Structure 1
Amino acid sequence: MMVKLLSSVAALLLTTHIQAESAVAPTPSYLMPLAEKAVLTDLIQVNDQLYVAVGDRGHLLLSKDSTSWTQVQTPVQSLFTSVYFSDEKHGWAVGHDATIIATQDGGQSWQLQQFKPETDKPLFDILFADANNGIALGAYGMFYRTTDGGKTWLDEFHLELVGSEDQEYLKELQESDPEAYLDERSSVLPHFNRIYQHNNVLYLIGEAGFFATSTDFGKSWTRHPEFYNGSLFGLTMTPKNSLIAVGLRGHVFRSTDLGQSWQQIQLAQTATLNSVLTDSAGHLYLTGNAGTLLVSQDDGVSFSAMPTQDSKAILNAVAVKDQLVLVTEAGIRTLAIKKPE
């Protein structure tokens, strides 16, 4: 069973030893007075008057101004890892126990769409093309798709995402022992950590340098050669069309040809990096463990450290006007963005 160490939130989210829930039936989250100071893992700015943050124990918080937050009850106490909205009304959150919850009223109420503690696996990310078509993915190659807004989620397996050395083995096993083939499928795929869309291209990253792309919303994929042998946790496209990928031990990679080739960016620190984002001015920010927060003003060619309040792990952030709103292992923090001189 996984030990939850607050000093290493990335390990809590991405370890291969996933905590199993003892109860099969879901238990609604508790409304806690200090929920905004608990472990929070992801947030999204839906519009100028709706911000949503998620985290441990089924916590989900809403804000109209990114400053004052109100907790909303959810159907589970699982740790949430990602939240996504396709429009102002329709949103989803995913997490441990292969959990998926959804809202149709802008986050005021949430309904359970999937809860599978028997899988002993977490979902790590979710993405929707519109209010009906979505993808949820996570540990050990978990991949679910919906075409009806999440009323039904169907498991998918994409052979093209398997390493070339395992593809022939699976093909032979499927013919000789179909039952063993189904069991083996779950052991040959890496963790899918993050899915990102830019224009009509999906970018998928994961452990052991896994990197793949799709141009048909994940119906078919191209797996690209690994450019790093460690896990990747965050990916974004800059306003100047550079792809930035971040991961374990402070590794940062930059691509100016849409992922065909990558250049490693050297940093002075080695803390694991959890996410990457941009602001309206085109500045690039990296968040990471041990209070790591870095900024680039040259399209990711170089980064400098930004001072933070403490050494708490920062899991993600959004840029709101002249501030960064951070979700951390100690809750929500805000940090003023210093304008360049």
Structure 2
Amino acid sequence: MKISNWIKLIALGSALTLPFGKAVVAADFIDTLDKPAIQTEKAVHGIFTGLAAAGERLIAVGQRGHIFYSDDAGVHWQQANVPVSSDLVAVHFPTPLQGWAVGHDGVVLHSSDAGQTWIRQFDGRQVGPVMLAYYQRMAAAQPENSDLQTRVAEAQRMSDEGADKPFLDVWFESDRVGYIVGAFNLIFRTDDGGQHWSPWLDRTENPAALNLYALRPVGNELFIVGEQGLVLKLDPVAERFNAIPTPYNGTFFGVTGKPGAVLVFGLRGNAYRSVDGGVSWSKVELGLPLSITASTVTTDGRIVLLSQAGHVLVSVDDGVSFKLQPQNGLAPVAAAQVSASGALVLAGARGLRQLPLE
């Protein structure tokens, strides 16, 4: 399963017709990793794929490196200064000031002022070389380990291919320790606030190198979800993400829930719930055949799921059942966040908007 088509950002080519005899001079190419995001008021109506709370402030990230922040629950937005124009996919703030955003071209951005300004900490040009150096050191110390030799070859390939692998989600447990995940089992961890990143590909039970779409904690447990029914759970003692069997072999796009109740959700309205940390799962009947692409938990404990078309489903019983909320003007949703005031803010293909909850 490839990244969902509706959240892909498609570059449209255009042809320029000139009078006969005129020379066509190509503009100098500037890599999106080196080109700052354009400051424009129109950007707030563009495509956004990630939302996070930074204290009472809301942060939204999207196409072409656009990052906006709001201090009034999403009514008004201001554009942040961003050093790249790569498409951004996800954002997380473990504290009101410190936050990270990730996206295409393997980019990782950091803000220390509640999302107002950003710096580039890591990118796809570094992913391959960092992996290669890391696994070469491990392979030299364990020459009999064939898995490490495979990791070296994989890292060499990524180095040769360049900055073409996206990171698709980010989560930090503090302003020091965090994880980034992405396509083809890409996963890195930092213990120093993103100054250095260590690959964890050998610490995930994902031999098929399936895409990792989301990682989030539920209670004290950290989960990753991805393609083909993949659900991984962190063993903090072994420092390893172990696979958890699920009844579904389709793609999961996200994970949410409350302490004691974990929900994973994805394609064609499929959602599953576990009350024993992922040992067993029960199907949640949503009555909606559309992919579930976003979630959030309200301040009063309701679990909210949103479809790719913008349907809102709300649970008041910790995910046992969901009720479809009546609404008008459906629009694709990629991310959702409840503001400090209780407003539901949505990000998607039609920009940023508020939506009242019943």
Q: Give the TM-score band, short-chain normalised.
A: 0.7 to 0.9
The residue identity in structure 1 corresponding to 2:72 is D
Distance apart, 1:258 and its partner CA = 1.6
Distance apart, 1:189 and its partner CA = 1.2
1:142-291 equivalences under 5 Å are: 142-158=186-202, 160-163=204-207, 188-216=208-236, 219-238=239-258, 241-291=260-310
SS in 2 for 1:270: coil
Indicate conservation of the 8 Å contact 2:257/2:303, yes or no: no
Aligned-pair Cα RMSD in Å: 2.4
Match of 1:310 in 2: 329
**Alignment partner for residue 353 of structure 2, among 333, 336, 340?**
333
SS in 2 for 1:290: coil
Distance apart, 1:62 and its partner CA = 0.8
Match of 2:67 in 1: 60
Cα distance in 1 between the residues matched to 2:328 and 2:268: 21
SS in 2 for 1:214: strand
**Alignment partner for residue 51 of structure 1, among 58, 61, 65?**
58
Indicate conservation of the 8 Å contact 1:89/1:107, yes or no: yes
**Could you say which structure has the larger radius of gyration?**
2
SS in 1 for 2:296: strand
Indicate conservation of the 8 Å contact 2:32/2:85, yes or no: no
SS in 2 for 1:299: coil
Distance apart, 1:84 and its partner CA = 0.8
Indicate conservation of the 8 Å contact 2:219/2:258, yes or no: no
- Paired positions, count: 301
Cα distance in 1 between the residues matched to 2:31 and 2:355: 39
SS in 2 for 1:318: strand
Is residue 2:178 matched to residue 1:134? Answer: yes
Match of 1:171 in 2: none
User: Closer, same or farther in 2 for the Cα pair 1:205/1:3, shift >3 Å?
Assistant: closer
The residue identity in structure 1 corresponding to 2:195 is K
SS in 2 for 1:260: coil
Indicate conservation of the 8 Å contact 1:73/1:109, yes or no: yes
Distance apart, 1:4 and its partner CA = 10
Identity in percent = 30
SS in 2 for 1:228: coil
Q: What runs of 5+ residues in structure 1 fail to find an aligned partner?
A: 14-20, 164-187
Cα distance in 1 between the residues matched to 2:86 and 2:327: 29
Distance apart, 1:26 and its partner CA = 2.0
Distance apart, 1:238 and its partner CA = 2.4
Q: Deviations over 1:242-275 (max 9, x none)?
A: 1111101111111121211111112222111112
The residue identity in structure 2 corresponding to 1:253 is Y
The residue identity in structure 1 corresponding to 2:194 is G
TM-score, normalized by length of structure 2? 0.78
SS in 2 for 1:208: coil
User: Closer, same or farther in 2 for the Cα pair 1:289/1:3, shift >3 Å?
Assistant: closer
SS in 2 for 1:97: helix
1:110-129 equivalences under 5 Å are: 110-116=118-124, 118-129=162-173
Q: Deviations over 1:105-141 (max 9, x none)?
A: 2222110111226241110111112222221110000
Q: What runs of 5+ residues in structure 2 fail to find an aligned partner?
A: 11-28, 126-161
Indicate conservation of the 8 Å contact 1:26/1:115, yes or no: no
1:25-104 equivalences under 5 Å are: 25-48=33-56, 50-66=57-73, 67-104=75-112
Q: Deviations over 1:44-89 (max 9, x none)?
A: 11212x1111111101001111221101121111111111112122
Distance apart, 1:329 and its partner CA = 0.9
The residue identity in structure 2 corresponding to 1:230 is G
User: Closer, same or farther in 2 for the Cα pair 1:217/1:274, shift >3 Å?
Assistant: farther
Distance apart, 1:22 and its partner CA = 8.0
> After the TM superposition, which of the residue ranges 211-220 and 94-103 deviates more from structure 2?
211-220
The residue identity in structure 2 corresponding to 1:63 is S
Indicate conservation of the 8 Å contact 1:233/1:274, yes or no: yes
SS in 2 for 1:94: strand
SS in 1 for 2:268: helix
Cα distance in 2 between the residues matched to 1:57 and 1:82: 13
Q: Deviations over 1:267-303 (max 9, x none)?
A: 2221111122211222111112112211122222222
Is residue 2:313 matched to residue 1:294? Answer: yes
Indicate conservation of the 8 Å contact 2:223/2:234, yes or no: yes
Match of 2:116 in 1: 108
Cα distance in 2 between the residues matched to 1:136 and 1:267: 30
> After the TM superposition, which of the residue ranges 63-72 and 150-159 deviates more from structure 2?
150-159
Distance apart, 1:309 and its partner CA = 3.9
TM-score, normalized by length of structure 1? 0.82
User: Closer, same or farther in 2 for the Cα pair 1:3/1:268, shift >3 Å?
Assistant: closer
The residue identity in structure 2 corresponding to 1:303 is F
